[in-house]
Amino acid sequence: MAMTNCFVIADERTREAVLFDAPDHTVEPLLDETSRRGWKLVGLWLTHGHFDHFADHAVVRQRFPEAQILIHALDEPKTRNPDIQTRMFQLPFVIPPLKADANVTDNQQLRIGGLDVKVIHTPGHAPGHVAYHLPGEQVLIGGDLIIGGSVGRTDLPDSKHADLETSIRRVMRLPDATRLLGGHGPATTLGDERKRNDFVRAILEGD
């Protein structure tokens, strides 16, 4: 509904894979491809609890019941009580409540097979928003922090623009070559966002 991205990242050697975010009416093709390649989906790792990032969680659970669903504790209330967002955004579908298997924390180290993944707490768009950094692959799954040419909205009830600015400054310390897989729009790099994203440039120039 919101043209939200989700991504599968796999270690092809160990055949373990993780799905990042689960937008409504979106995950089936990725799950089909995961099965076709013989990968084991070991996780659904959420960037935050807005409806368009977790609505298909039950589809993932049904297809891969052993996949561990992770989210930051500050955003889990959204997933446990999805009816609040259903009413707020007048959604034409029902989202089942989601209780995560575990909560991620800032600087937590995770793994997808042999791939190292670092959790970066990036509040602002949502208090429990996180990004997932794969330093060895120079990839950042960034959610709705920076969205190719723009940034995440901060006019929602629990958003805070000052926190968003702090989070953007933090992730922009990563190498410019880092490939940014955002929650909406095409893939980009942090270097491109530094040069071409007026919102990011204004935040960085304000330091």
* CATH number of 145's domain: 3.60.15.10
Task: Count structural domains, the chain.
Answer: 1
Say if 46 falls within a structural domain: yes
Give the model confidence (pLDDT) of 39-86 as tens digits. 999 999 999 999 999 999 999 999 999 999 999 999 999 999 999 999
Say if 1 falls within a structural domain: no
This prediction has a pTM of: 0.97
Full domain range(s) for residue 111: 7-205
Say if 2 falls within a structural domain: no
Average pLDDT score over the chain: 96
Say if 186 falls within a structural domain: yes
Say if 163 falls within a structural domain: yes
Following DSSP, what letter does each residue of 111-179 receive, concatenated?
A: EETTEEEEEEE--SSSTT-EEEEETTTTEEEEETSEETTEE----STT--HHHHHHHHHHHTTS-TTPE
Identify any residues that bridge with 133 across adjacent strands, giving them in sequence order: 118, 140
Q: Is the pLDDT of residue 207 over 70?
A: no
Identify any residues that bridge with 110 across adjacent strands, giving them in sequence order: 117
Say if 113 falls within a structural domain: yes
Q: CA 36, CA 125: separation in Å to the nearest integer?
A: 35
Q: CA 99, CA 76: separation in Å to the nearest integer?
A: 7
Say if 169 falls within a structural domain: yes
